[in-house]
Chain A
Amino acid sequence: AQTVTQSQPEMSVQEAETVTLSCTYDTSESDYYLFWYKQPPSRQMILVIRQEAYKQQNATENRFSVNFQKAAKSFSLKISDSQLGDAAMYFCAQNTGNQFYFGTGTSLTVIP
């Protein structure tokens, strides 16, 4: 069975600082994709960043980057220069076959 674990229910960061959100997953597949989605109070699911498991290079999207450790099955999200608009729930997800498997989320608060 596929599982995705986010061990930090809540995190906070000072504006302009850097924060790292943790995610681990469990799969027997060798070919899969990993994602971070952001869910602001509007509850719209917004794609933040995507990583293909076969790529060793960590994905980067502007202020967002990941630390992908395939052997450890770890996929953390780093947010640099945090902004007030980054405040949201962040969900880690793994895609194998037809389904996405989501973690339970980390609520990020950005302190002005």
Chain B
Amino acid sequence: NAGVMQNPRHLVRRRGQEARLRCSPMKGHSHVYWYRQLPEEGLKFMVYLQKENIIDESGMPKERFSAEFPKEGPSILRIQQVVRGDSAAYFCASSPSYRGRETQYFGPGTRLLVL
């Protein structure tokens, strides 16, 4: 059973460009979570999705950030018009059941660098 997969592992963008981060959950998991880790900090929750639904986006910045988890394909975290402050590691996690009370299994992360 493959683990959570994220791609790309490293992404470099210039200010004003768009960043698209992809996450494929573990097989059998229908709950996906996105977290951001700034340098020297812990992970901060951004958004929780189930297939085709955003359940909780309370940690997502109101502008420029969006997330989706379509019926088919990976979950996508999209950052429009990136700024230097968006440079961070973005982690995706998945769990098999409701409300995330099960352990969340993390992907290897995508390191975004905005020049």
Interface residues of A (CB under 8 A from B): 4, 33, 35, 37, 42-47, 50, 91, 93, 95, 97-105
In whole Å, how far is A40's beta carbon from the nearest beta carbon of chain B?
A: 11
The reply to whether B100 and A99 form a contact with Cβ atoms under 8 Å apart is: yes
Which bracket fits the contact residues of B?
20 to 34
B103 touches A43 (CB 8 A): no
A7 to B67, CA, bound (A): 33
> In the complex, what distance in Å separates the CA atom of A35 from the CA atom of B42?
14
Contact of A91 among B43, B101, B108 (CB under 8 A): B43
Specify which chain B residues have a CB less than 8 angstroms from the CB of A91 in the assembled complex: 42-43
Which one, B33, B58, B108, contacts A100 given CB within 8 A?
Answer: B33
Contact with A along B14-58 (1 / 0, CB 8 A): 000000000000000000010100000111110010000001101
B62 within 8 A of A: no
